[in-house]
Amino acid sequence: MTLRLRNAHTADLAPAELRAVRTLLDDAFEGDFSEDDWDHTLGGVHALVHDDTGLAAHGAVVQRRVLHHGRSLRTGYVEGVAVRADVRRQGLGGRVMAALEGVIDRAYALGALSATCEGAGLYAARGWHEWPGRFHALGPDGIVHLPDEEVWLFLRPASAGALDPAYELVFDWRDGDVL
């Protein structure tokens, strides 16, 4: 099997490629990938792995801002990581993450992602760390604490260095993040 990895900005993906990404995400998340999730996946750099039958794996990194201890950190937020069912457990998720981590390490102060139960092991094995502190998001009415999300938040320090969990993280607001 021939594998091809390609990084491309959303603006450089053809409509057919975007449809293939959306189909992969819908299949991988078994219909639990919302329009807001899709919107969050767009506007950044995508890592796409193709095999002989088509799109096999995908992930994207988009820019967000995170406030922490008096600093606003340019953050590469990982979205839409998925591997086609018939090629799982063959290292494709790791290839996607390696490409995205390269973008984060070269362009951002911090990497962040919200893991699923199934994906947490991959991220931990790659050196991502669970955030032990409090996590908030800016909402239309101000800052909202998101305790249910804290267990799934993983960070990659990049140029920001280690963050102090005594100080909360406040992520910028996006549709679908705060109810």
DSSP 5-50: EEEEEGGGS-HHHHHHHHHHHHHHTTT---HHHHHHHSSSEEEEEE
Tell me which of 38 and 141 has the higher pLDDT.
38
Using the Cα atoms of residue 61, residue 62, residue 63 and residue 64 in order, give the sign of their dihedral: negative
The SS3 assignment for 171 reads strand
Does residue 177 register a pLDDT over 80?
A: no
Does residue 162 register a pLDDT over 90?
A: no
Average pLDDT over residues 6-32: 96
